[in-house]
């Protein structure tokens, strides 16, 4: 893996985000329309989040942990890093985080007190069960983590 190429790409992304934030700040100071100010504020928040992710990736390069998942410690696929050089999680951990996050809410099958079936460990991805203890048997485990009960399939099936 060519870390110098990733560093150059991240620095280019960083310059873009800094310029974007400067322009959005100027737009807010000149703000004459509440709707434009609201959009500019939302764009600023997104740009600040992206800039923080970029800075974190540059820090990981400096400390020698770039390309390793922050959660499980496994390698992040080079294809993922090429598409999203600031990625700090492997695909499995990213999916698990998004599935359990959902803006602070749990999916409906988790709100009812059900726990997902334990995932079958993948030979390439380490697994850590987020819910120890006995698991219900009516879970359809198609994704390997936090699937849904067979009695409550998604509406698009």
Digit-coded pLDDT (tens) for 9-67: 999 999 999 999 998 888 777 766 777 778 888 888 999 999 999 999 999 999 999 99
126 or 50, higher pLDDT:
50
Place of tokens 């997902």: 116
Digit-coded pLDDT (tens) for 58-94: 999 999 999 999 999 999 999 999 999 999 999 999 9
| The pTM of the whole model exceeds 0.95 | no
pLDDT surpassing 80 at residue 132: no
Residue 32 makes CB contacts below 8 A (sequence gap 6+) with none
DSSP annotation of 104 reads: G
Interior/surface letters 37-72, b for 16+ CB within 10 angstroms, e for the rest = eeebeebbeebeebbebbeebbebbeeeebbebebb
Structure confidence at residue 48 (pLDDT): 92
* Lowest-pLDDT range of 43-47, 96-100, 123-127: 123-127
Structure confidence at residue 110 (pLDDT): 44
Tokens of 1: 């893996």
Confidence of residue 138 (pLDDT cuts 50, 70, 90): very low
What is the distance between the alpha carbons of residues 55 and 53, in angstroms, rounded to a whole number? Answer: 5
pLDDT surpassing 50 at residue 127: no
- Asked if residue 135 lies in contact with residue 116, where contact means CB atoms within 8 angstroms, the answer is yes
Structure confidence at residue 13 (pLDDT): 95
Confidence of residue 99 (pLDDT cuts 50, 70, 90): confident
DSSP annotation of 112 reads: T
């Amino acid at each position: 893996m060519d870390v110098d190429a990733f560093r150059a790409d991240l620095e280019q992304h960083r310059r873009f985000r800094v310029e974007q934030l400067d322009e959005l700040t100027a737009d807010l100071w000149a703000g004459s329309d509440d709707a434009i100010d609201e959009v500019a504020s939302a764009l600023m928040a997104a740009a600040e989040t992206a800039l923080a992710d970029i800075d974190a990736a540059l820090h990981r390069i400096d400390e020698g942990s770039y390309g390793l998942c922050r959660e499980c410690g496994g390698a992040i696929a080079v294809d993922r890093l090429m598409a999203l050089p600031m990625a700090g999680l492997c695909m499995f951990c990213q999916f698990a985080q998004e599935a359990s996050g959902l803006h602070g809410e749990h999916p409906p099958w988790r709100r009812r007190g059900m726990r997902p079936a334990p995932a079958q460990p993948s030979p390439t991805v380490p697994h850590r069960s987020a819910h120890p203890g006995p698991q219900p048997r009516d879970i359809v485990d198609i994704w390997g983590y936090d699937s849904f009960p067979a009695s409550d399939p998604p509406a698009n099936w």
